[in-house]
Amino acid sequence: QSALTQPPSVSGSPGQSVTISCTGTSSDVGSYNRVSWYQQPPGTAPKLMIYEVSNRPSGVPDRFSGSKSGNTASLTISGLQAEDEADYYCSSYTSSSMVFGGGTKLTVL
Amino acid sequence: EVQLLESGGGLVQPGGSLRLSCAASGFTFSSYAMSWVRQAPGKGLEWVSAISGSGGSTYYADSVKGRFTISRDNSKNTLYLQMNSLRAEDTAVYYCAKGGAITMVQGGYSFDYWGQGTLVTVSS
């Protein structure tokens, strides 16, 4: 159950797009379309942003999108806004277990 | 409105025990898998354990297997985590989280609602 690999930090200016990667293995990310993404502003509980690689729960802006290629999943945030500044975590389901990524801090410049 | 309210956290000595509870409301509790996820101070999220809607299937991270036990009482809409043989590295905020389906494999692996968390500190 090794953690998925995410970049520690990314940044972008308002209006720009950023992409956060999440790299696993053929046993987790590569084998299942069961990747989720969570947003966690400081001092708050995580919030589901993307499930099953690319699906958005109701209420999540369409500026947030997800994709996957091989063992790497990605979260793209377009039209960056100040309120998007937060930590972002990916997760993957793998037979009877789950694993999170180490988290990525998004800074809006 | 879905609400998850954790309780039972606190300070405990190494080797001690603690039982966390999560009171759920606003949805049909027995129809959804539930999980516990923890976050050590200043660190990332770590999945701890999950249980199917019926309670018949349970899952654990290797780091807690044999020490923690997840359970649920669907008549009380409450999720539990019994933590034994606690270690300093178990210090964290513990969140309960609602899965997206009745079993993990059917969608219980996406957590659409989270509680606010309860802090567990293991220290002498």
pLDDT, tens digit, 9 for 90 and up, residues A8-17: 999 999 999 9
At A1, the pLDDT band (50, 70, 90 cuts) reads low
- Tally of CB atoms within 10 A around B114: 22
- Check if A93 contacts B (Cβ < 8 Å): yes
Amino acid at B8: G
The verdict on a CB contact (< 8 Å) between B110 and A48 is yes
- For A6, the token pair is 């995410």
Please name every residue paired with A29 in a beta bridge, in sequence order, or none if there are none. none
Could you say which DSSP state residue A2 is in? P
Q: What is the pLDDT of residues B23-38, one digit of tens each?
A: 999 999 999 999 999 9
Residues 44-73, chain A, touching B (beta carbon < 8 A)? 45-48, 51-52, 57
- Smallest Cβ–Cβ distance between A1 and the set B62, B104, B111 belongs to B62
Q: Could you give the 3-state DSSP secondary structure of residue A30? A: coil
Within chain B, residue ranges assigned H as helices are: none
pLDDT of residue A55: 95
Residue B104: phi, psi to the nearest 5? -60, -50
Q: What is the pLDDT of residues B47-97, one digit of tens each?
A: 999 999 999 999 999 999 999 999 999 999 999 999 999 999 999 999 999
pLDDT band for A100, please (50, 70, 90 cuts).
Answer: very high
Q: Is the pLDDT of residue B17 over 80?
A: yes
